[in-house]
Structure formats: C-alpha cells, structure tokens
C-alpha cells in the first residue's frame, strides 16, 4: 500500500498544500531553505506523532486553526467502499494543536459515509452493535466465517440503508487495526534518512532493516535459548525457595514458589556497529572513523542490498539530499537501486542534483519555492516543469561535449550506448568512438541532458540526435517522449523512437541461449556436465516487439539478463543476426542518417 495524495495545513512553512499527487519516486527540488524537507518532516510526524513539536506549527496560521496532515493511500487489495473515501482511497488525517502548553493530536479517517448519523462509522462498531442495527432494519444477521463477520454485517446494512452518502470524517479509533486484520494488509512503515547524521550504521532506520536476521537466528536456535530459559528458571526457583523458608514462619502451608518467565530474545541485541578491515592492514577500524563520503558509499551498497533482497516491501523511504558527497557515477548507482526498490516501496527525495531531480522525467518532480512572506509553494505537472527546474538548479550545458565530439546522440542508458556501437560496427562497419560521435546518456529527458540540448542554439548546424525506446503501452513515458520529439523538431534535430519495446527486444533468441551456456562453461569449465546446459539449449525462445524480455527470460529460468548478459548477446550477434532482427532496418537507417547529417554539417 502506497501514498497516493498528501494534504498539509499550517505545518512549518506551509499554509495550505492540497491533494499533492505522488508516485513511486518523488523528487523535491529547490534552493536551500525553500521548504523541500518540509514534506518529509510532515510525513515523519504523521507516522510518529511524538515527532511533532510546537515549532512545527505554521507561524501565520489564523485563529484556532489546527495543524493537519492528511494522507491518502491506494489500497493494494480490494476492500469495502465504506472504508474508502469518494476517490476510492484510504484517507487518514491527524490534527495537532497546543493545549495548556502541551501538544495534543487527534486522528480521523475519511470515508464516503452515510449522511444518517445512526449508520456512520460502521468500521469502528463492534459485532453486537452491527447486529442490533441489522435487526432494527428488519433483517436477520447472516452467519459468516471467522474474521469476516463485520464485513458481512456491513454489507447487509449497506443493502438495507437508502440514505445518501458523502465524504465524512470519523475518529480513527480502531479503524486501521480492523482494516489490517480483515484484509491481511499492513499500513506502510516510514523511514526518514536525515541529510546529516541518519545515513550511518548507528541510525535506527539502518539497524531496523536487520531485525528479521536477528529474529530468524533466535528462531533457528530455539533449543539453545530454551535451555538457557530453563536454567534461569531453575536458579530463580532455588533463590525463591530460600525466601520461602523465611516466609513459612508467618505463612503456614506455603509449599513452593513456582516462578514464571517471559523472554523476547529478538530484543537481546540492542545495537551493532561495523568495523572495517582492508587488504594489507593488520587491524580493523570503526566505520565511524571514516569520512562522510565513505558512509554515503555504504548507503549506496545498503540500498543495492535492499533491492537484491526485496526487503523493502510496504515501506516508505524519505532521503534528504542523497547526492551529498557522492560522485555522479555513485549517484547513478544509488538512483538505480532506488528505482529497483520502488517497484515495491516508495521514495521521497529532496535534491539539488540533476541525476535525482530528473529521476521522474518531470512527472513527479516538484519545484519548491518560497515567497516573500516565507511561505513555501509546490509546483508539479506543468508543461514547462523541467525547464523551470533547470533554471532553479542553475544547470548549465556541458560545453566540453562540443570540444571532444563532432556529433551527439542522446540515449536513455549505458546499455543503449553499447547497443548503438554494436549495430554501427556489425551492420555498417562504423566506429562511433573513432568517428567522434558521442552517445550521451539521458535521451533528452534527464535534466542535465535536456539542458545539453541548448548547446547547439548558437552553433552553425544542428549536431545532435535522440534515440529512445518504444516503451509500448506506457502512456506517461510516451507523453514525455512526445515532448522530446517536439524539442527535436523545433531544433531540426534527428529523433527516432524504436518500434520495439526496448533494445533487448532486438536480441537474437539463439544467441541468448548461447551466451547463457557460455556463462556456465566459463564458471565451471568447458567440459562442464551441468544439466542446466541441456535445458537451456532445448528452450524455444520467442522475442516479439512488445514483450518484457527480462521478465520473459526470468520465467524461463534465465536470470539477470540486464546485468551484462544483454550486452554479451549484442556483441555475439553477427551481421546476419542483426539484419534478421532489425528487419525494418530502423536502427541501421537511424545511424546512417546521423552520418549523413554529420557529413552535411562538415
């Protein structure tokens, strides 16, 4: 279950922010002190009310207005519509105010409820109360299975009651607990990684991710822990036997004390730290002795770990300025991990970095500015949002690209670079690097590369082209690529969108099998008798233009295709393979057009 919308009133620099739509990865971009982190702090107070402080109240609030933080969640399963608002969302609001010098909070949920007060807030009513309402309606309560009793009764009431419905707030009470129990879903956990101190091993957010390891260990060592528990219980009994001997003088008939014990071994490890030992060193050093840049690299590896373990399900991660102290290449690594984890979790990022600011291609990038009154404003979803963010961040074109290149081809990733080089070499016997044709990652949609398109405004001739994936069926990506095409048309630049879903759809099926077999033999030796070799060779693979190749191959037992295996396939394919796979000659024609354009400009 993920956050769908956020509404905040009278919190820090926000007077009112209504229905901010959010997605899997959300970036907040703006100058220092504009209010980027305010969203993250508001979410922190929502998930942990103890974090709210009197200083969090908006200074300009009017009269008795409260500070409120309202979050709407998209349920991951189908649930009763009386638990949802009119937008089919689970919405919870928390109000904060100061009463007698102390913070007081009240929580509500909003649902599309009956206007008749008698039938409101059904999800907080007990079974006997629901039965009474049903009986009063002249209906006999239905029998139901365990755990679904209230759902059945609420459905009976809904069928019998004819009064109108509208969005209404009710006290939260046991609403969340009842929803979680009935539908076996969990509200997400929230983890805020502070820009300064929380990106370290000592941070609670870091340590909490390893609790399952601790619990699992004690589960597998139950015999040992039970032996310890018995020994302690025995020692306690012996000590209390001594006490009993003194008590019998005044308490006749007291035969024995039988102490009972309760253990929670998962809490036995309070905290852990890390010491590092490097090759050539004769001693290890605490990670706390390493610099901030090193700790940030640990963060990159940590999020890669989460992505590989898929341990982040149903969690929300908020990270302040993840780019701090990270080289651009390490920023890319961290972003790739975040993108992978966001398939099951959600991210909120504040950033000054073009790498992270462009992570959503503008769709979920929010520009944060502050007016002369000190009030923060949030803008997203406008046609020119990318250009506004470029201006706000002060991103400038990379003029070194001109010095070392005769022509630029903007693509969407490093694999696309290698893909184009392979096609040029195999089909046209061309060397893009030797011919000083640079492939620039970004495809024109990431912020830094979008700014690079401005390089050519004041240069004779247009010296760039853009190649993007087909992304068949993805409406949001198609919309973004229409913007890129419009920019290219305006500049007179070459633009081509592949007819196939992505570059992997141009892989030769037989060469895919050959590369996976070669990989096994490389690891196990040429004489390997691994039965997996025969299984792979017997596969019949069909790669059509719309299929998700990596998922398709994974279903066939061929894992990790996009982790270098796709490039091995491209390098293995010969001219006949390329001609057969690119039977419309679209990639070949695109590269030929680049060379013709370059020739006409020389």
Give per-residue pLDDT as tens, 79-137. Answer: 999 999 999 999 999 999 999 889 999 999 999 999 999 999 999 998 889 989 999 99
What pLDDT is recorded for position 461? 46
Among 3-17, 285-299, 585-599, where is mean pLDDT lowest?
Answer: 285-299
Average pLDDT, the chain: 84
Look up the domain containing 511 and give its range.
504-581
Q: Is residue 518 part of a domain?
A: yes
Of 291, 439, 450, nearest in space to 355 by CA = 450
Tell me the mean pLDDT in the region 293-306.
Answer: 72
CATH code, 473 = 3.40.50
Secondary structure of 4-36 in HEC code, one letter for each residue: EEEEEEEECCEEEEEEEECCCEEEEECCCCCCH
| Pair 560, 457 in one domain | no
| Pair 450, 596 in one domain | yes
Of 371, 350, 374, 348, nearest in space to 13 by CA = 374
Tell me the mean pLDDT in the region 160-187.
Answer: 91
What pLDDT is recorded for position 402? 56
What pLDDT is recorded for position 349? 92
| Pair 486, 597 in one domain | yes
Q: Is residue 41 part of a domain?
A: no
| Pair 473, 561 in one domain | no
Q: Is residue 143 part of a domain?
A: no
Q: Is residue 332 part of a domain?
A: no
Residue 379's DSSP bridge partners are 367
What pLDDT is recorded for position 441? 67
Whether the per-residue pLDDT at 22 is higher than 50: the answer is: yes
Tell me the mean pLDDT in the region 13-36.
Answer: 91
CB-CB neighbours of 379 under 10 Å:
14
Question: How many structural domains are present in the chain?
Answer: 3
| Pair 456, 512 in one domain | no
Secondary structure of 253-270 in HEC code, one letter for each residue: CCCCCCCCCCCCHHHCCC
Q: Is residue 438 part of a domain?
A: yes
| Pair 476, 407 in one domain | yes
Tell me the mean pLDDT in the region 367-384.
Answer: 85
**What letter does residue 598 receive in the DSSP assignment?**
H
Tell me the mean pLDDT in the region 137-149.
Answer: 73
| Pair 487, 514 in one domain | no
Q: What angle do CA 348, 350, 353 make, to 5 degrees?
A: 125
Please tell me the distance from the alpha carbon of residue 326 to that of residue 332, in angstroms, as a whole number: 10
**Share of the chain residues as helix, strand and coil, in percent rounded to the nearest 5:** 45, 20, 35
Whether the per-residue pLDDT at 271 is higher than 50: the answer is: yes
Q: What angle do CA 196, 200, 202 make, to 5 degrees?
A: 115
Among 92-101, 286-295, 540-549, where is mean pLDDT lowest?
Answer: 286-295
| Pair 411, 491 in one domain | yes
Tell me the mean pLDDT in the region 362-391.
Answer: 81
Please tell me the distance from the alpha carbon of residue 516 to that of residue 513, in angstroms, as a whole number: 5
| Pair 427, 409 in one domain | yes
Whether the per-residue pLDDT at 459 is higher than 70: the answer is: no
pTM score, whole prediction: 0.65
What are the tens digits of pLDDT across the range 380-404?
877 677 777 777 766 555 555 556 6
Q: Is residue 260 part of a domain?
A: yes
Q: Is residue 542 part of a domain?
A: yes
| Pair 458, 556 in one domain | no
CA distances to 7, 186, 281, 374 from 191, rounded to whole Å, are: 19, 15, 35, 28
What are the tens digits of pLDDT across the range 32-79?
888 999 999 999 999 999 999 999 999 888 888 999 999 999 998 899
* 3-state secondary structure at position 419: helix
| Pair 532, 487 in one domain | no
* 3-state secondary structure at position 417: helix
Among 140-144, 219-223, 234-238, 382-386, where is mean pLDDT lowest?
Answer: 382-386
Whether the per-residue pLDDT at 539 is higher than 60: the answer is: yes
Whether the per-residue pLDDT at 150 is higher than 70: the answer is: yes
| Pair 511, 456 in one domain | no
Whether the per-residue pLDDT at 504 is higher than 90: the answer is: yes
Residue 192's DSSP bridge partners are 318
CB-CB neighbours of 386 under 10 Å:
23
Q: Is residue 31 part of a domain?
A: no
* 3-state secondary structure at position 377: strand
What pLDDT is recorded for position 7? 96
């Amino acid at each position: 279950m993920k956050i769908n919308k956020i509404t905040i009133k009278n919190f820090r620099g926000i007077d009112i922010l209504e229905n901010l739509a959010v997605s899997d990865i959300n970036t907040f971009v703006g100058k220092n002190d504009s209010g980027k982190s305010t969203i993250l702090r508001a979410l922190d107070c929502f998930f942990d009310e103890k974090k709210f402080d009197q200083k969090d109240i908006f200074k300009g609030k009017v009269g008795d207005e409260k500070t409120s933080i309202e979050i709407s969640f998209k349920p991951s399963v189908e649930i009763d519509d009386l638990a949802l608002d009119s937008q089919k969302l689970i919405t919870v609001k928390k109000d904060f105010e100061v009463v007698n010098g102390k913070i007081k909070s009240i929580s509500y949920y909003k649902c599309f409820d009956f206007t008749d007060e008698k039938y409101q807030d059904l999800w907080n009513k007990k079974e006997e109360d629901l039965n009474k309402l049903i009986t009063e309606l002249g209906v006999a309560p239905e029998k139901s299975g365990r755990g679904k009793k209230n759902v059945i009764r609420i459905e009976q009431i809904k069928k019998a009651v004819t009064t109108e419905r509208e969005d209404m707030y009710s006290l939260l009470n046991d609403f969340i607990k009842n929803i979680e129990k009935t539908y076996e879903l969990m509200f997400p956990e929230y983890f805020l990684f502070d820009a300064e101190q929380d990106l370290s091993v000592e941070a609670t957010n870091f340590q909490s991710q390893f609790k399952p390891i601790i619990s699992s260990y004690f589960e597998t060592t139950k015999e040992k822990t039970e032996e310890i528990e018995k020994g302690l219980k025995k020692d306690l009994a012996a000590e209390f036997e001594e006490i009993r001997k003194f008590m019998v003088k005044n308490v006749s008939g007291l035969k024995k004390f039988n102490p009972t014990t309760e253990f929670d071994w998962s809490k036995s490890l309070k905290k852990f730290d890390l010491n590092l030992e490097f090759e050539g060193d004769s001693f290890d050093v605490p990670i706390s002795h390493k610099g901030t840049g090193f700790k940030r690299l640990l963060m990159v590896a940590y999020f890669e770990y989460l992505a590989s373990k898929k341990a982040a399900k149903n969690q929300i991660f908020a990270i302040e300025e993840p780019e701090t102290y990270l080289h651009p290449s390490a920023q890319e690594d961290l972003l790739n991990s975040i993108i992978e984890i966001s398939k099951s979790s959600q991210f909120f990022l504040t950033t000054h970095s073009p790498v992270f600011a462009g992570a959503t291609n503008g769709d979920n990038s929010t520009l944060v500015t502050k007016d002369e009154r000190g009030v923060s404003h949030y803008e997203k979803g406008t046609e020119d949002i990318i250009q506004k963010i470029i201006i706000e961040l002060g991103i400038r074109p990379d003029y070194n690209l001109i010095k070392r290149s005769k022509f630029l081809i903007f693509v969407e990733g490093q694999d696309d670079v290698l893909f184009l080089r392979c096609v040029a070499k195999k089909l046209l016997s061309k060397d893009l690097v030797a011919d000083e044709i640079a492939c620039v990652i970004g495809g024109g949609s990431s912020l830094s590369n979008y700014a690079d398109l401005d390089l050519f405004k004041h240069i004779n001739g247009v010296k760039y082209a853009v190649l993007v994936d087909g992304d068949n069926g993805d409406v949001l990506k198609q919309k973004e690529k229409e913007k890129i095409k419009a920019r290219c048309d305006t500049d007179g630049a070459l633009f081509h969108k592949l007819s196939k879903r992505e570059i992997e759809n141009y892989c030769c099926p037989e060469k895919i099998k050959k590369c996976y077999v070669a990989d096994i033999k490389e690891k196990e030796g040429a004489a390997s008798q691994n039965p997996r070799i025969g299984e792979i060779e017997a596969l019949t693979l069909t790669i059509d233009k719309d299929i998700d190749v990596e998922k398709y191959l994974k279903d066939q037992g061929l894992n990790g295709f996009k982790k270098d295996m796709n490039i091995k396939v491209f390098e293995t394919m010969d001219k006949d393979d390329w001609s057969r796979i690119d039977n419309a000659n679209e990639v070949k024609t695109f590269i030929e057009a680049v060379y013709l354009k370059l020739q006409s400009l020389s």
